[in-house]
Structure 1
């Protein structure tokens, strides 16, 4: 059978002609085309029918430069970043009513680049409408929005009187250091939880976050409950009362207390707590703090996760904190068991002979201890640990444990690295915290710098810790500084760093890709 001939449909010798698409001539220009109810080609239809007629080409949008939010009439303000899906929805709501009146559907939309300081936002819309007995036309339509700056209500009150707040979150932790707050600060910056705060002020033992709305403060408290073991108390104070309209104005206070147990703390469990945890301890190390406390027995590698409500039942304190770590040198080490992984962290039991660095040249005191750092330590390395042999402890649970059990003389916590780079290839962003006079004292300032340096070292040594926060490339870093770093000193890989983008004089955290389409009811990307 020849190509293009009819195919047999039934018996031999019977053929049916192949179906061919018919064409007609356009009634206006005479071009051959597929038939449609209008009998006109697409070019002639577009030339005679404009489906964008009546659709606005210019509109206005109100923007608050202080909190980076846009007005959603009549009174709500929505926060949105440049070329974000949230900004796209705000702009499209301004023209949805004319589209519905003209029975024009929106099949897609995308941003058109405009200069950041031009006060113009440009969109390219793809409109679709049915014309002339079922014929559907689609056409692009540009819309330009003029941005008008105006402070929102909360920012106006804040600029008129910075103390005119509605709700405050008083975040406290009763410990002699600020390591927890340094970590929470990075979490708040990454997730944008403190961006709605009118101001952030330092206070003895913590921070105060002031908000212009109670809902913003409550959202911060809910976020803190997911990342730290906290206990919350609320209170309100009547500010004013309108007897005619029965309107009450209150100031709300959220008192948030973080559990006083921090990472690397040494804890002596009471007999009741040890029994309830399945015979854990009695000496345990805190290895991780999220919304639960992870306690590790360094002699058996058993881990127990203690929730905040359960912790309040025992209410134990840290016998020794990271401020009391002593530096040791490893003389010899012998692995006892293979390396294992627990909750993403690696451990290995080993016996190590260590001596205090401060004892060199004074005495020959050597300790043989069991440690969970067998996979990290080698002879000649330095390690930080708790000296139970010469420590002066004031803890009832520790005294009970010493009388009932044979406690080790040294508990090693982590490996120590001597050499450090003078500059780092990465940096962190900080919250704009208002410091009081007590925190600006010379001794207090040096203490804060030391704690911040210790926090940076912890980030370099713990990949799991820095996985939860954002690290940015340091533009001031010079490669020749890397010569001061030892071969075994952990560093942050460059692939984990984020480019620090800037818009003009203000630094903005933006994504690397611009949004090119939307997905909304009746809309297609």
Structure 2
């Protein structure tokens, strides 16, 4: 009690004074704390304002009287949220701070004059639909005496689906907001990378349905705000332009309520990483006479362009691109394999935008011509820091290409090189590892796929996905925003490690994450893992 604490403090101070007096050779009288008898049971006790011992005081006064000891929580089992009346939904995990704050808010202790001292969860079975909380409270009782007491509150979870989940269960096609994500290119490498970004940031957690389309992906949401939030996320990771429309579904003339279906059309820039671009004269002048032949080195919410002959670079944001849009001259599907015969450095290695480059003069020949003719090309490349005689490289064959690009025709005196190298090739070294599982895997979105797709389209998608996995192995900067998981089925072989070679890019084990799976049975997880 407060009196006891004061007495304890006084006694401590008097003891300290006594020690000081003894050191000074002085004599002090010892002070003792008196005791009184309890007015109820008669046992000796230290005096307090109520003149009762703790047991008798608790028998006379119950400070938990009138407080809630049984509370009902409305829980949606589909979206795992709790209802905070009138219409707010709160997402909280078991025994989390958010759930404790929500449970204590239900008690409304401030209106009862009780002071909360401590609260803790009591373990219950996860499937019991019960949450127990041990709460310790204080309250001023007889004549200013403060009584502290603990009691248990039981919360009962009642399953009641929210409005959005109810609509979804009644009709899965009854969506409110739809986001149509499109990119008009001949491959899906951009969507493979965007899928991993969405999974890492959990951007599509509120989507009620995801459908894979020919040139993109459709996302359906039960609320317009969820669709707007998803569009904002895509705009932060890719150069996009968007527009939105709405269609009237129903109108209640009595309450003046309108129900709309909102559609967001999002178009991603067709410029992809490793594409060869011929800049329009207007864009080239605005960028300081860059190019005009440049390589797209990186795509985020802006497009990074690199001149492979001068190592000049720039970043083109979404507004600048869509103000004067342009297309790629050649895409990564048109890369040709070359063999390198000689490399002579022109300038030392430099760091540009986090990537290393070095200008060099190289002598190369197409692999398709190797052994058939003596056609060789002397070109300038920005890959002098990683290429050496005998290596293989992928590049664009401008010597044999038949281009009818209108932007290229606007440059009258432009000298077009015979070849432009883009990256080093490890195809020959990968032949020995073909068919072997990787030590890592990726997760994928739960998308609806059209089963009527032709067999050739599926083989094309599998080939593009395999190329995407190789890009992740070769480019550490590309996998920086991708979550990679350990493959439990992978079993390394000592003989394979001795024969595979050490020059093949691989992902270090420290970059891999452990895939946490909590399951009652040992069933295989069909929704996760790599696509075969």
Instruction: Give the alignment's TM-score, normalised by structure 1.
Output: 0.84
138 and 427 in structure 1: CA distance in 2 versus 1, 3 angstrom threshold: farther
- 1:72 is aligned, of 65, 84, 87, to 84
The structure number with the bigger radius of gyration is: 2
| Residue in structure 2 matched with residue 521 of structure 1 by the alignment | none
Question: What is the Cα deviation at residue 266 of structure 1?
Answer: 0.9
- The answer on whether the counterparts of 2:76 and 2:82 sit within 8 Å (CA) in structure 1 is yes
| Residue in structure 2 matched with residue 409 of structure 1 by the alignment | 418
471 and 107 in structure 1: CA distance in 2 versus 1, 3 angstrom threshold: farther
- Identify the structure with bigger relative contact order (alpha carbons < 8 Å, sequence gap 6+): 1
| Residue in structure 1 matched with residue 443 of structure 2 by the alignment | 429
* Segment of structure 1 superposing worse, 86-95 or 406-415: 86-95
Once the two structures are superposed, residues 247-274 of structure 1 have per-residue CA deviations (whole angstroms, 9 ceiling, x without a partner) of 2111111111111111111101122211
- The answer on whether the counterparts of 1:116 and 1:503 sit within 8 Å (CA) in structure 2 is no
Question: What is the Cα deviation at residue 437 of structure 1?
Answer: 4.0
For the residue of structure 2 that corresponds to 1:436, the secondary structure is coil
Question: What is the Cα deviation at residue 378 of structure 1?
Answer: 2.6
| Residue in structure 1 matched with residue 481 of structure 2 by the alignment | 468
Question: What is the Cα deviation at residue 62 of structure 1?
Answer: 2.6
| Residue in structure 2 matched with residue 517 of structure 1 by the alignment | none
Once the two structures are superposed, residues 374-393 of structure 1 have per-residue CA deviations (whole angstroms, 9 ceiling, x without a partner) of 22223222221111111222
Looking at structure 2, the residues matched to 80 and 243 of structure 1 have their Cα atoms a distance apart, in angstroms, of: 38
494 and 395 in structure 1: CA distance in 2 versus 1, 3 angstrom threshold: same
- 1:224 is aligned, of 230, 234, 237, to 234
| Residue in structure 1 matched with residue 291 of structure 2 by the alignment | 281
* Segment of structure 1 superposing worse, 300-309 or 366-375: 366-375
| Residue in structure 1 matched with residue 462 of structure 2 by the alignment | 449
Once the two structures are superposed, residues 327-353 of structure 1 have per-residue CA deviations (whole angstroms, 9 ceiling, x without a partner) of 122222233333322222222222222
- 2:517 is aligned, of 476, 499, 502, to 502
435 and 25 in structure 1: CA distance in 2 versus 1, 3 angstrom threshold: same
| Residue in structure 2 matched with residue 514 of structure 1 by the alignment | none
- The answer on whether the counterparts of 2:241 and 2:322 sit within 8 Å (CA) in structure 1 is no
For the residue of structure 2 that corresponds to 1:327, the secondary structure is strand
Looking at structure 2, the residues matched to 381 and 429 of structure 1 have their Cα atoms a distance apart, in angstroms, of: 33
Looking at structure 2, the residues matched to 128 and 486 of structure 1 have their Cα atoms a distance apart, in angstroms, of: 71
Looking at structure 2, the residues matched to 271 and 466 of structure 1 have their Cα atoms a distance apart, in angstroms, of: 34
| Residue in structure 2 matched with residue 511 of structure 1 by the alignment | none
Looking at structure 2, the residues matched to 400 and 63 of structure 1 have their Cα atoms a distance apart, in angstroms, of: 65
| Residue in structure 1 matched with residue 13 of structure 2 by the alignment | none
Looking at structure 2, the residues matched to 19 and 467 of structure 1 have their Cα atoms a distance apart, in angstroms, of: 76
Once the two structures are superposed, residues 115-168 of structure 1 have per-residue CA deviations (whole angstroms, 9 ceiling, x without a partner) of 443433344445454556666666655444333333222122112112111111
Looking at structure 1, the residues matched to 30 and 295 of structure 2 have their Cα atoms a distance apart, in angstroms, of: 81
Do residues 5 (structure 1) and 17 (structure 2) align? no
* Segment of structure 1 superposing worse, 298-307 or 70-79: 70-79
* Segment of structure 1 superposing worse, 112-121 or 212-221: 112-121
Looking at structure 1, the residues matched to 517 and 56 of structure 2 have their Cα atoms a distance apart, in angstroms, of: 48
- The answer on whether the counterparts of 1:26 and 1:40 sit within 8 Å (CA) in structure 2 is no
- The answer on whether the counterparts of 1:389 and 1:410 sit within 8 Å (CA) in structure 2 is yes
For the residue of structure 1 that corresponds to 2:191, the secondary structure is helix
Once the two structures are superposed, residues 222-241 of structure 1 have per-residue CA deviations (whole angstroms, 9 ceiling, x without a partner) of 11111111111111111111
Name the Cα RMSD after superposition: 3.3
- The answer on whether the counterparts of 1:328 and 1:383 sit within 8 Å (CA) in structure 2 is yes
Return the structure number with greater helix share.
2
- 1:329-344, aligned counterparts within 5 Å? 329-344=339-354
For the residue of structure 2 that corresponds to 1:434, the secondary structure is coil
Once the two structures are superposed, residues 65-115 of structure 1 have per-residue CA deviations (whole angstroms, 9 ceiling, x without a partner) of 3222222223332333444444343333323x2x22332334554545544
Looking at structure 1, the residues matched to 51 and 295 of structure 2 have their Cα atoms a distance apart, in angstroms, of: 82
Question: What is the Cα deviation at residue 42 of structure 1?
Answer: 8.0
- 1:356-395, aligned counterparts within 5 Å? 356-395=366-405
- The answer on whether the counterparts of 1:199 and 1:211 sit within 8 Å (CA) in structure 2 is yes
| Residue in structure 2 matched with residue 351 of structure 1 by the alignment | 361
- 1:27-46, aligned counterparts within 5 Å? none
Do residues 101 (structure 1) and 111 (structure 2) align? yes
| Residue in structure 2 matched with residue 63 of structure 1 by the alignment | 75
- The answer on whether the counterparts of 1:5 and 1:17 sit within 8 Å (CA) in structure 2 is no
| Residue in structure 2 matched with residue 89 of structure 1 by the alignment | 101
251 and 348 in structure 1: CA distance in 2 versus 1, 3 angstrom threshold: same
Looking at structure 2, the residues matched to 130 and 341 of structure 1 have their Cα atoms a distance apart, in angstroms, of: 70
| Residue in structure 2 matched with residue 210 of structure 1 by the alignment | 220
Looking at structure 2, the residues matched to 214 and 115 of structure 1 have their Cα atoms a distance apart, in angstroms, of: 37
288 and 120 in structure 1: CA distance in 2 versus 1, 3 angstrom threshold: farther
Looking at structure 2, the residues matched to 20 and 337 of structure 1 have their Cα atoms a distance apart, in angstroms, of: 91
| Residue in structure 2 matched with residue 120 of structure 1 by the alignment | 130
* Segment of structure 1 superposing worse, 416-425 or 442-451: 416-425
Looking at structure 1, the residues matched to 372 and 270 of structure 2 have their Cα atoms a distance apart, in angstroms, of: 37
Question: What is the Cα deviation at residue 181 of structure 1?
Answer: 1.1
- The answer on whether the counterparts of 1:427 and 1:473 sit within 8 Å (CA) in structure 2 is yes
* Segment of structure 1 superposing worse, 337-346 or 267-276: 337-346
- 1:307 is aligned, of 317, 321, 325, to 317
Instruction: Give the alignment's TM-score, normalised by structure 2.
Output: 0.83
- 1:155 is aligned, of 159, 162, 165, to 165
- The answer on whether the counterparts of 1:105 and 1:129 sit within 8 Å (CA) in structure 2 is yes
| Residue in structure 1 matched with residue 5 of structure 2 by the alignment | none
